Every structure is written in structure tokens, then in C-alpha cells.
Amino acid sequence: MTDCPEIVAFLNAAKAWETDQVVRAHRSERRAWIFAGVGLAIALTAVVAVALLTPLKTVEPFVVRVDKNTGATDIVTRLTEQRESYNEAIDKYFLARYVTYRGSYSSAMAYPDYEAVTTMSAPQVANAYFDEIKPNNPHSPTAVYGKDGQVDVSVNAIAFLGEGVAQVRFTRTEHLPNAQDRITRWIATITYRYLNPPTDEKARLIDPIGFQVSDYRLDPETVPTGG
């Protein structure tokens, strides 16, 4: 029977079909392993990415101080050990110096303070400051405090509102002969920038890096109280 051409042809066709099915099964299995490997690689990549991003999710607690007299709030300090940047520290230093020069008064330091404020101010700010302190102004420090009076300034906090804009909170204590000290609290809103350092040697001793105030606004933070 096996010599019959029809049977031989049928058996050959059956073997060919069986071989083709085996080859297809091997190919399908190979593709399945490839897809499984790609899926595993993607899953491992996702796990590694999440693990790397986890340290970036941090909680930074901070202390908020509330003034019991006014209700004003400000951030005192972060509870982490993160240190402020070098540029921020420089900004705070010159902002504090400027407010101290401008808000303090004593007959001995009146002119040096005037020179410092003028050196660290844009022309329009310097002119407005001169109008406030010129001797013929009845509200000038010279007219109010004379030779025996004195004003001390203590900076309480400095907050940055944006690039080149800051608020300085400070306490101003007025000492007058035969009178009770008068304590007031103020907020100075200051716009500032850095220009080329002054070429004059005397000015460089005051402002060595070209700090300049381009706008200065003063607002009371609390009502006056006795000292």
C-alpha cells in the first residue's frame, strides 16, 4: 500500500504540514520570550525610576512666628539644617545695613549715615532722603532730636518678595532727654540691584560691591508704645 503514489503523496504532505506546525510553534515561543523580556525590562526601569525619585519627595517643616500685638506673621527659620545661599546672605547684610543707616540717628553719626545712604541709593532715592533730613525741614531728625536725642534701629526679620525686592521688619527706639523712650515697629519695602562697584575709595569702604536701592517705602507695622 505504501507503494501507492496517492498514499505516498498524502504521507509526504502530512509530514510537511507537521514540520511547518512545529516551526511555527517554535517561532511563536521565541516571540513570547522576547515580549516577556521587553516587558520585564520596562518594569525594572520603572521600579528604578521610582526609587531614584523617592529622595526628592521631602517634607520641610518651618516655624511661623505670630506677633501677638498685630497678628503679623513671618517665617522664623526652617527646622532642617539647610543653609541659606551665599548671595542671599550678602543681600540680607546690605539690606540690614541700609535700613540701619537710614533709620538711625545721633548727632555724631548724622553725616556719616547720610553719606552711606546716599552712596547706596539711586539718585531719585537719595534726593527724596535728603528732602527728609535737610535742616530746614521741621520734621527732620536734626530738628526733632537735636544734639541730645538719639534713634536706634534693630532689624527683626528680612523676607524676599521676588527678584530684587525685599521687606525688612525693624524696631525703632527713640531716646529723648527727660522723656520716655518711644518704640515703633516698621516695615521697609526695598527694591534693590547691584551695579558696578564705586570707583571712589571712600565710597568703596561703604559699598564695595555696588549695592543700590532703587525704591524705598516705609510703612508702620504697629502703633507706637511706651518703652
pLDDT tens-digit map of 67-118: 655 555 555 555 444 456 778 999 999 999 999 999 999 999 999 999 999 9
Q: What is the pLDDT of residue 227?
A: 47
Q: What is the pLDDT of residue 45?
A: 79
- Overall pTM > 0.85: no
- Looking at per-residue pLDDT, the higher value among 103 and 222 belongs to 103
Domain assignments of the chain as residue spans, ordered by start:
5-56, 62-226
The string of pLDDT tens digits covering residues 145-184 is 989 999 999 999 999 999 999 999 999 999 988 889 999 9
Q: What is the pLDDT of residue 79?
A: 45
Residue 219 has pLDDT above 80, yes or no: yes
Distance CA 66, CA 72 (A): 6
The CATH number of domain 62-226 is 3.10.450.230: yes
Q: What is the pLDDT of residue 37?
A: 73
Cβ neighbours, 10 Å, residue 95: 22
| Residues 185 and 169 sit within 8 Å (Cβ to Cβ) | yes
Distance CA 14, CA 6 (A): 12
Distance CA 95, CA 194 (A): 12
Q: What is the pLDDT of residue 86?
A: 77
In 11-164, which ranges are E strands? 62-66, 73-78, 150-162
